[in-house]
Amino acid sequence: MNVKSITSAEAYQKLVCNENCLLIDVRTPEEWRAKGIPQINNKVEFISWPPRNDQSSLQIFISSLKQIIERKNAIAVSSKKEQIELFFICKAGIRSAVAAEIIANKAMLKCYNIIDGFEGSTSGEGWKNNNLPWQRI
């Protein structure tokens, strides 16, 4: 399954307009505390992407995300909505691309990578710099 690239501004519009979407922030707790977090009511989950070559942490990441997806899809099915769409974000779109690709292939879900990330990249300004809703924790 292919992962689609999307800017933070485009992702925000989709997240606001479609109630069957979820934003997955894969940064570390340290990044969340230091830089802030995206804010969209009941549409953001925080699951840190595991360190390199750590298969155990990767399995925990996948398992945690699958539980969230199952819960959200159960709600969607009961209200006769389509399967959930996932939007992955990290600092600059690198970790989120890997996470989105793995989940799209394992769970066969429609996944998007936010290419400019939370803080911006060569692909764009990023969530925070685009003045999209965010908060400090």
Write the CATH number for 67: 3.40.250.10
The boundaries of the domain holding residue 67 are 3-132
Q: What is the pLDDT, as a whole number, of residue 44?
A: 95
Q: How many domains in the chain? A: 1
pLDDT per residue as tens digits for the range 82-124:
778 999 999 999 999 999 999 998 877 899 999 999 999 999 9
On whether residue 86 sits in a domain, the answer given is yes
For the cut 90, the answer to whether the pLDDT of residue 3 exceeds it is yes
On whether residue 111 sits in a domain, the answer given is yes
Q: What is the pLDDT, as a whole number, of residue 78?
A: 55
Structural tokens at position 122: 């060569």
On whether residue 112 sits in a domain, the answer given is yes
pLDDT per residue as tens digits for the range 37-93:
999 988 999 999 987 767 888 889 989 988 888 887 766 555 556 778 999 999 999
On whether residue 106 sits in a domain, the answer given is yes
On whether residue 137 sits in a domain, the answer given is no
